[in-house]
Amino acid sequence: MIIDRKTIKIKANEVVKNNSITYGLIVFQWIMTYVFSLIVIALFPQTDFMQSIVIIINGLISSMIAFFIAIGGLKVIRDEDWISKEEKWSPYHVLRYFPAALLSQLYIFLWTLLLIVPGIIKALSYSMLPYILKDDHSVNAKEAITRSREMMNGNKLELFILYITYYIVPFLLGVAGAISLGAFLFRFISLLGGYGAETSAGSSFFGFFLLGIVLLIASFVFYLRNITRCNIAVAIFYETLKEKRDEELNFPHF
């Protein structure tokens, strides 16, 4: 089965248009990540050593929250209840996400120490982890990581390109906005220092500022729009891989 990114993106757009809760998932993720980061900062003393511990804890919490947001996206495309009676949730089933987040982030961090590229490759390899844990309560963290690597074998480039198509526009808009504001600040400092002619400080001076603000706002709007669709698209990507894997398992081998 060939993964059709265009079809996945079309399906993701349709899901988001028909389910405004998909935006709520992303906003909820931002709010919860911010709230928990404040709680962790308040609980630990502000020493150099403890600041490193706070960063690690916040990273794990952020990964856990991202896991559940990803699962929420999967529930949306499957039109499942948020708390399904068929899913036998228990403290064990919920807490096993923690070692999965811990191990995956540890492996990604260690591979990133070599170079950025190996870290990105490992992050793509473990991208199916939350969905696997959600669908199969019998697997532990290491088994889920292994299964995710197997599912992503030969499919990492496809997912990477899918990510790029969603994030490239807000990234470029953000860079352009930052450059425009940088030009404004440079011009402003030059004027304060008396290096620029006052006659040239009119429309072009504030034009850089206004353009930078507009571009940054557009970057945020596109980011919210695209990250919402990306969350759904990755869930559809998982469903496509799962269907492919099930077909291979059920195909008779002679």
Averaged over 165-171, what is the pLDDT?
Answer: 96
Radius of gyration of the chain (CA): 22
- Residue 172 has a pLDDT of 97
pLDDT of 13-53, one tens digit each? 999 999 989 999 999 989 998 898 888 888 877 777 777 78
**Phi, psi (degrees; rounded to nearest 5) at 164:** -60, -45
> Average per-residue pLDDT in the chain?
85
Map out the domains of the chain as residue ranges.
8-153, 161-250
In contact, 119 and 109? CB cutoff 8 Å: yes
The answer to whether residue 240 scores a pLDDT higher than 50 is yes
Binned at pLDDT 50, 70 and 90, residue 86 comes out as: low
Give pLDDT, residue 80: 85
AA identity, residue 34: Y
The pLDDT of 162-182, averaged and rounded, is 95
Indicate whether 203 pLDDT > 60.
no
Instruction: Tell me which of 53 and 78 has the higher pLDDT.
Output: 78
Compare 93 and 41 and report the one with higher pLDDT.
Answer: 41
In Å, how far are 30, 115, 234, 250 from 37, measured between CA atoms? 11, 28, 26, 45
pLDDT band at 252 (very low <50, low <70, confident <90, very high): very low
Nearest residue to 229 via CA among 179, 149, 169, 157: 169
Tokens of residue 74, six digits: 């999967």
3-class state of residue 202 by DSSP: coil
In the chain the first and final C-alpha atoms are separated, in Å, by 20
Pick the more confident residue, 200 or 219.
219
pLDDT at 153: 92
Q: How confident is the model at residue 249 (pLDDT cuts 50, 70, 90)?
A: low
